Structure 1
């Protein structure tokens, strides 16, 4: 086993990064969650890095990396690749340091993130369909031009900058027992774990550190099992901020030594957590930033560890595309049984919709949308498909509405 003092990032690196960032970033607040404390039986806090400048933690590592460049390196400019948060962090840091920045972003990057990156003065180039493809193009550009490549997670200065969050959490919640952190490439989790592990002796206790990944973008569990980097063949998740198909080598080397576990959550878990944060704490958090809360809300993590003690969930970012937010809200409400969409086949005759509406109304559901289609090979002449959206009051209420429709002779198919 590698000793803490043999790792490529040390506590003194993180403390120097903390000094560099003084006056550059915000010391983001910590908020208490009464609702999750009731559910867990122990205190739960949110480290609200979604309120950070540029909307995420990424500016920490980006600024530290770029501030340490030589004058000659700064003159050559920097290049980076990102789905959005690292892009904005690099762009903001470059504007503060007077460095030209070129950022490669995937073609599907959220428009608000692209716009925000350009607003800091960076040149944005859309390339490829994934972050990995954008990364490859950014590296090619660096090799061709001499621009300094600023990796989003696989760099010691980046990791040290992100690790300053570990110092802040320990200062703001000194009695913390468990810290949950979302994981993409691993720079944040690696830096935070170095800071926390180095301070444990001073604190006189062991702190549980758990990484959290989206289940369809979870490269760390198989990589940790194999003790080697295992790239994913496919990455699909609403949490675009952690949609990374291959861990960084340096973060991986640190995480495998210092982190207790990497947990995965479903897309529905993430959507529920995002809505919970909006409703209960009035926080706008992107899906990648909500995965620690998704893990706490998922009973699996409590079943595995029992009492988590005083818990801190790191809300890593708040940069969410409003269009994605609409989709996530719909999915989250559906997962919570508060939104139901059904599809039915009807005889195309007067009064059918009225009958269905009466059944839904009698069972206290509220119709919010109706859509007809008669163009389907599965339909006979005189038949139509109708899709109905409705507000419901939980899973039991959904079952009541569905049961009433079936009892009336209809065959509703649940869409959401």
Structure 2
């Protein structure tokens, strides 16, 4: 019989415990720094999640999940990944004395495959997309009596990613940034990062800091699902495909929906997900204020204007969203906070974005 991975109820203590687990692996919070101001006086800041052995933030969720699941007795785990989650699981597993088998879809960037290899993962390159790789990995884990770790649709994973939000709230205090003037932009694929970050920020600031999800056109499952579930107003401005601004929350019965992505974007591979996670959607609908859907053209523009950027397209997505958001008509000045979520670049994909359709 395979080990069942239970989903436990979340409470405020889970935030504290998650933070303590994460600090065992990386002792200091990642940096929050200003990177520019615009002519209107808006300040742009980025939380850099790339300065670690995996090059991305996903080790956080892996650390919390594996510690809660195994304690100090980890042997082997199975997961599916577009690359960064697999590296996170492999790194944490190796630090805990265990190993990881990672199922990745065909077409995964070589940089991410190389990273998995460096971290000691056993790689299974299989399936034409993430969903196929995930289903194959689930069956493999069950037949080998090993736990399957989902890359985003898991409350423990979300709690781990949510430690970014905890660090941000403390850094806002240290830098004297007023909660009511802050907007945090979060890149979204399956929803694990925003599900965790939005919860921790909202609970630790009494809901005063605005949280905005950013998706790229095509890979829009979370945004569209949010729009329908919360009866969001859909607006159109230059630079955006759509903006969903919540006007209500799901009823007390917790009703919500999940809608398939229009056509997942191949070039922004880190957010190439067909369907937002079930647990993720519940958290998103409860805590997130708005969603932006941006054109891949804006991501290409970002690389033309920042040719030395080390961020991968999904890692730059929230910066692109913040830049476009700053051009919306509004009276007050803002602190626009983005999460630089990964640096495992595929040069071919970046060149395709720069060239455009």
Q: What TM-score results when the alignment is normalised by the length of structure 1? A: 0.71
Change (3 A) 1:305 1:218: farther
Q: Is the 8 A contact 2:45 2:337 kept in 1?
A: yes
Q: Is the 8 A contact 1:222 1:230 kept in 2?
A: yes
Aligned to 1:262: 291
Aligned to 1:193: 198
Aligned to 2:20: 19
Aligned to 1:180: 185
Change (3 A) 1:307 1:316: farther
Aligned to 2:81: 82
| Cα shift at 1:39 | 4.5
Aligned to 1:232: 261
Aligned to 2:312: 286
| Whole-angstrom distance in 2 between the partners of 1:305 and 1:85 | 36
| Cα shift at 1:74 | 2.8
Please provide the CA RMSD for this pair.
2.2
| Whole-angstrom distance in 1 between the partners of 2:215 and 2:194 | 11
Aligned to 1:222: 224
Q: Is the 8 A contact 2:300 2:350 kept in 1?
A: no
Structure whose CA Rg is larger: 1
Instruction: Give the alignment of 1:92-111 within 5 angstroms.
Output: 92-111=91-110
What per-residue deviation string (whole Å, max 9, x for no partner) do you get for residues 326-365 of structure 1?
333444xxxxxxxxxxxxxxxxxxxxxxxxxxxxxxxxxx
Q: Is the 8 A contact 1:274 1:285 kept in 2?
A: no
| Cα shift at 1:216 | 0.8
Aligned to 1:206: 208
Structure 1 gap ranges (5+) = 1-6, 332-415
| Whole-angstrom distance in 1 between the partners of 2:294 and 2:155 | 28
What per-residue deviation string (whole Å, max 9, x for no partner) do you get for residues 134-167 of structure 1?
1111111112111111111111110110000001
| Whole-angstrom distance in 2 between the partners of 1:316 and 1:10 | 26
Aligned to 2:280: 251
What per-residue deviation string (whole Å, max 9, x for no partner) do you get for residues 189-216 of structure 1?
0111111111113xxx711100000111
Change (3 A) 1:30 1:233: closer
Change (3 A) 1:271 1:173: farther
Q: Is the 8 A contact 1:51 1:317 kept in 2?
A: no
| Number of residue-to-residue matches in the alignment | 316
Q: Is the 8 A contact 1:9 1:194 kept in 2?
A: no
| Whole-angstrom distance in 2 between the partners of 1:238 and 1:63 | 28
Counterpart of 2:112 in 1: which secondary structure? helix
| Whole-angstrom distance in 1 between the partners of 2:202 and 2:92 | 28
| Whole-angstrom distance in 2 between the partners of 1:51 and 1:329 | 25
Report which structure shows greater RCO (CA 8 Å, sep ≥6).
Answer: 2
| Whole-angstrom distance in 2 between the partners of 1:207 and 1:228 | 25
| Cα shift at 1:51 | 2.4
Aligned to 1:161: 160
Counterpart of 1:78 in 2: which secondary structure? strand
Aligned to 1:144: 143
Q: Is the 8 A contact 1:163 1:188 kept in 2?
A: yes
Q: Is the 8 A contact 2:74 2:93 kept in 1?
A: no
Counterpart of 1:192 in 2: which secondary structure? helix
Aligned to 2:250: none
| Cα shift at 1:296 | 2.2
Change (3 A) 1:232 1:255: same
What per-residue deviation string (whole Å, max 9, x for no partner) do you get for residues 275-311 of structure 1?
44x35xx541010011111112225x64266646112
Counterpart of 2:123 in 1: which secondary structure? strand
| Cα shift at 1:57 | 0.6
